[in-house]
Amino acid sequence: MDRRTRSSLIFLGLVVALVAGVLLIQAASTADHGRESAPGSSARPAVLDDAEIATVVGVSDGDTIRVRLAGGAVERVRYIGIDAPELSHPEDGIAAECHGDEATRANEGLVARQEVLLERDISDRDRNGRLLRHVWVGGGGGGWLLVSRALVAGGHAIARSYPPDTHWDSELAAAEEVARRAGAGQWGAC
């Protein structure tokens, strides 16, 4: 199999896994402690009453984005509760990890150029100065989607607890278990 065919098959698998993960999450959203709005609802869930609105201006990798806040400032945002495979960063001595490119593309597919809601947990920033937030996308006819849970459900990230920021840990762990059993994303590729 040539490289182009292999890349096309990997990309197709990524898209199928992502769509399956999103559908799984939307189907389960009403069972998750009433925290998300029901599919078809455009009302903001009560848990997001204090969330900040931002626009995604760039995707750094599978768990980090750049957003423009309401005041115009651009900030890097690290998703709380997950860890995605790394891209290559030779200047920092970081080698690319299996499924890093696919995780980044999955993240782009969910949030690129979208308006998002940034939900704060306990901590404000990480040691690298990035905002730490739970990021939500949607608000149209399909309700609100927790981006980190979609990435975990598609096998593009793992659930990882970072106390004291643990608000969505149980939901992320449950999504990871489903993705592992299904061999989704990195669970089937790496």
Q: What is the pTM of this model?
A: 0.75
The CATH number given to whatever domain includes residue 106 is 2.40.50.90
Look at residue 28 in the predicted model and tell me its pLDDT: 45
CB 87 within 8 A of CB 61: yes
Q: Which domain holds residue 138?
A: 3-189
Give the total number of structural domains in the chain. Answer: 1
Give 10-residue mean pLDDT values along the chain (190 residues).
54 49 45 38 66 96 96 97 85 78 95 96 97 89 89 97 97 97 94
